[in-house]
Structure 1
Amino acid sequence: MADKSTEGFYEVFEVFSKRNEKTDMQYQFSLLAPNHEMALAMAQENFMRREPVIDIWVIKRSDIRKMTEEEKETLKRIDNKDYRLTKGYGYLKKKWREYEQGVLDENEILSWGEDKDATDRKRTTS
């Protein structure tokens, strides 16, 4: 258990690091320090001995805010926006194939007229 005299002296800090320009920040660990400067120095000392990093973030745990249940409710979608998701377009290839099979092209329609005229001419000449 913490001593009453040091209880308010140390604060919990969360440490994040980035290995190179292409990677994202990753959570590493928590540490106890009296202030931001000391927390950063402790995080640098820990990482410089172990692995190369290009950036370190040190954040006081009390500064991290979590969303309330009411705020989470505002993130839910009220209306259907499936058209924004790629899965919403999966049926289009099938639809297009059905459309192409059902559509008569101009040459096909004209060929019907020629066949009818040709058979009519054969009847009249015979």
Structure 2
Amino acid sequence: MNEQKNEFYNVYEVFSKKTDKSPFQHSFSLLAPNADMALIMAKENFFRRETVADIWVVKRENIRGLNQDEKEMLKRLDKQYRETKGYGYLKKKWRDYNQEQFTEQHILGGRGDNS
């Protein structure tokens, strides 16, 4: 009997966004017999508690994630050139450049004459 119950209900993931310009975020999961009922249940939950601009309801089995081989492939890709942490030396270089520009001779009128 439990097996028939599991076949009748499906797990749906609900995503929502608060404003038109905000991104969708996962809100919660729910059990429903079909997508229409899942949408009704999601709307009832949100309209009672908070305002939202849009709701997505997706059957969990229709969401595809990366398998283990694909995850391993991502680890092997070297994309450090896309990260800004490689430019950390620029702050020190810029500070050294600014200090070089304002030496004592520059501040006191480093024109070379004794006036």
Q: Same fold (TM over 0.5)?
A: yes
What one-letter code is carried by the residue in structure 2 that aligns with 1:84? R
Report the alpha carbon displacement of residue 95 of structure 1 after superposing the two structures with TM. Answer: 4.7
Match of 1:49 in 2: 48
Residues in 2 aligned to 1:20 and 1:70: alpha-carbon distance in whole angstroms: 37
Match of 1:40 in 2: 39
Match of 1:116 in 2: none
Q: What percentage of residue pairs aligned between the two structures are identical?
A: 60
Aligned length: 98
Native 8 Å contact 1:83 1:89 kept in 2: no
Query: Alpha carbon RMSD of aligned pairs, Å?
Result: 2.4
Native 8 Å contact 1:17 1:25 kept in 2: yes
Q: Which digits, 9 at most, give the CA deviation of each residue in 1:33-69, with x for residues without a partner?
A: 1111111111111111111111001011111222111
Report the alpha carbon displacement of residue 4 of structure 1 after superposing the two structures with TM. Answer: 4.0
Gaps of 5+ in 2: 101-115
Gaps of 5+ in 1: 102-126
Tell me which of the two structures has the higher relative contact order, counting C-alpha pairs closer than 8 angstroms and 6 or more residues apart. 2
What one-letter code is carried by the residue in structure 1 that aligns with 2:83? L
Residues in 1 aligned to 2:51 and 2:64: alpha-carbon distance in whole angstroms: 29
Residues in 2 aligned to 1:69 and 1:4: alpha-carbon distance in whole angstroms: 29
Match of 1:31 in 2: 30
Give me the TM-score of the superposition, normalised by structure 2: 0.69
Residues in 2 aligned to 1:78 and 1:49: alpha-carbon distance in whole angstroms: 46
Q: Which digits, 9 at most, give the CA deviation of each residue in 1:101-124, with x for residues without a partner?
A: 7xxxxxxxxxxxxxxxxxxxxxxx
Give me the TM-score of the superposition, normalised by structure 1: 0.64
What one-letter code is carried by the residue in structure 2 that aligns with 1:39? A
Higher alpha-carbon Rg: 1
Report the alpha carbon displacement of residue 90 of structure 1 after superposing the two structures with TM. Answer: 2.2
